[in-house]
Amino acid sequence: MKLPLRPPCLAPSNTRFRKALAPLAMLVGTVLLSGCLRVAVHGDPEAYMDNADSPPGQALRVATYNTSLYENEAGGLVRRLAAQDPEARRIAALLQRTRPDVVLLNEFDYDANGRAADLFQRDYLEVAQPGGGEPLSYRYRYLAPVNTGVPSGLDLDGNGEVGGAGRERGNDAWGYGLHPGQYGMLVLSRHPIDEAGVRTFQQLRWSAMPGARRPVDPVTGASWYPEPVWSQLRLSSKSHWDVPIRSPLGTVHLLAAHPTPPVFDGPENRNGLRNADEIRLWAEYIDPAPAPWICDDRGRCGGLAEDASFVVAGDYNADPSDGDGVAGAMAQLLDHPRVNAGFVPRSEGAVQRAAERSVPRDGDVAAHTGDFGPKAGTLRLDYVLPSADLQVVDGGVFWPRPDQPEAAIAGASDHHLVWLDLKRPE
C-alpha cells in the first residue's frame, strides 16, 4: 500500500517565539485538560507561527475518517475514552501513521465541554500507539453542536406520536440520534483556524432550498411532511461547517458534513431525498451564482466567495454509481466545475474485500471506502474533494490487504480514512 509516512510535527523553530508563548501554552493546556473550555475553536486562531514546521513547497495533507467513536448514551464516549478504549487506540495509531495536517473525524460524539476531544488528544494521539508512528499533536480543533439526537418536538417519522423511546425518539430528533451530539464531528488541524470566519448551517431549514426534494407519500400523493412540520424541518442531519484554515497554501475552507444515510425510511424515501439535498447544499454554496437562501446560524447569507480555495470532506453516504442513494446525488459535487475530482483515491484492500463480498457493482471498487456487510457490500462514501485551484500530488484510502501489517489498525471502523496531498499549481 503506497503511503509515504510523515515526520512528527515539530514546534516552531524560533526560540524567542516559543518562550513568549510558553505562559499562554501552559494556561491553554491547563484549561483543556480541565474540560472547561467551551469555545468551538481550541488554540490561538491569531497565531500564524510563520508555519515554521512546514517547509516551503510542502503539500498540505487533508483527510477524512468516519471513526465510529459514538455511544448510545450521553457521556458514553467520554467514559469509554477515559477507560483506554482499544478501538480508539487503533484509530489514533492510524492517524499517527498517516499524519494528516487537517482531518475531519465523523461519528465522534460531541460534548459541550470538549472532554472527549481532550481525552482523545492527550491519551491517544499524544501517546505512541502500537502499529502507529510518533505521537501526534494538533494545536487547533473545531467542534460544535449537531442536530443528531436533538428533540424536534415534531412527529418526523409519521407514526402519530412525538418522541418516545429508543429508535422512535431518535427518528423524531432533528437528525437521527439517541442523545444530543451522537455521531458528531471534530476537526483537527496543525494550522490556525479562523474562528471569526467559521460558518455553520445547523439550523438552516430544508424548505428554504429552492426546488427542495420534498418527500411525497406515494399512496396519497400528499407531502409526507405536513406544512407545519415541513416549514420547520432542518436540512442538515448533523451540521454543515465551513471552517477556514490558515495553511501554508493560504486560507483553505474545510467544508465538513455528514449527510444522513439514504436508508432507514419507507417508500416516501425521505432520508434518500434529504441526503441528496444535503449534498446539494455544498454544491450551491460553492457555485458562483448568488444564493441568498443559504443563511448560516449567525444570520449571514450567501455562498462561498468565488476566489476562495476549499476542500469538501466527510462521509457523504452516497456512492457515485451504486447503493441506495438518489441517482446523481454525489455527481452534484463530483461534476461541479469548481471541484477538482479527477484524482480518485484507491486501495488494494477495497478490491480484495469487494471480491469477497461479491455484490454486483457498476463503479470502481478500488475507490470504495467502507465495507457495510454481506448484503450492502463495499461502497465509496467518504470524500476529500479540493477546489479546482488546488493540485493533487498524492492520495489514497488507508485500506491495506489483510496480509499487510497495517491491517491490524485499519479495522477500527467500517469506514477507512481517505487522504489527499495538495499544493498550489506552479
pLDDT digits (tens, 9 = 90+) for 74-91: 999 999 999 999 999 999
pLDDT tens over the chain, length 426 residues = 444 333 323 223 233 333 333 333 333 343 333 333 333 665 543 433 333 344 556 899 999 999 999 999 999 999 999 999 999 999 999 999 999 999 999 999 999 999 999 999 999 999 999 999 899 999 999 999 999 999 999 999 999 999 888 899 999 999 999 999 999 999 999 999 999 999 999 999 999 999 999 999 999 999 999 999 999 999 999 999 999 999 999 999 999 999 999 999 999 999 999 999 999 999 999 999 999 999 999 999 999 999 999 999 999 999 999 999 999 999 999 999 999 999 999 999 999 999 999 999 999 999 999 999 999 999 999 999 999 999 999 999 999 999 999 999 999 999 999 999 999 998
Question: CA-CA distance, 279 to 268, in Å (whole number)?
Answer: 19
Contact (Cβ atoms closer than 8 angstroms) between residue 350 and residue 396:
no
Selection from 407, 387, 301, 384 nearest residue 104 by Cα: 384
The pTM of this model reads: 0.89
| DSSP notation for 84-110 | --HHHHHHHHHHHHH--SEEEEEEE--
**Helix, strand, coil fractions of the chain, as percent rounded to 5:** 25, 20, 55
Provide the residue type at 105 as one letter.
Answer: L
Distance CA 136, CA 272 (A): 38
Q: Quick one: pLDDT at residue 100? A: 98
Strand order in the sheet with 199-200: 199-200, 241-247, 250-257, 309-315, 382-386
Q: What pLDDT digit, counting tens, does each position of 195-209 carry?
A: 999 999 999 999 999
In Å, how far from its chain's centre is CA 145?
Answer: 14
Domains in the chain, ordered, with CATH? 60-146+181-423 (3.60.10.10)
Look at residue 42 in the predicted model and tell me its pLDDT: 57
| Other C-beta atoms lying within 10 Å of the C-beta of residue 213 | 18
User: Strand locations in 1-74, DSSP E?
Assistant: 41-42, 60-69
Residue listed under C-alpha cell 465541554: 113
Give the cell for residue 255. Answer: 467544508
- The Cα–Cα gap between 66 and 237 comes to 15
Tally of CB atoms within 10 A around 230: 17
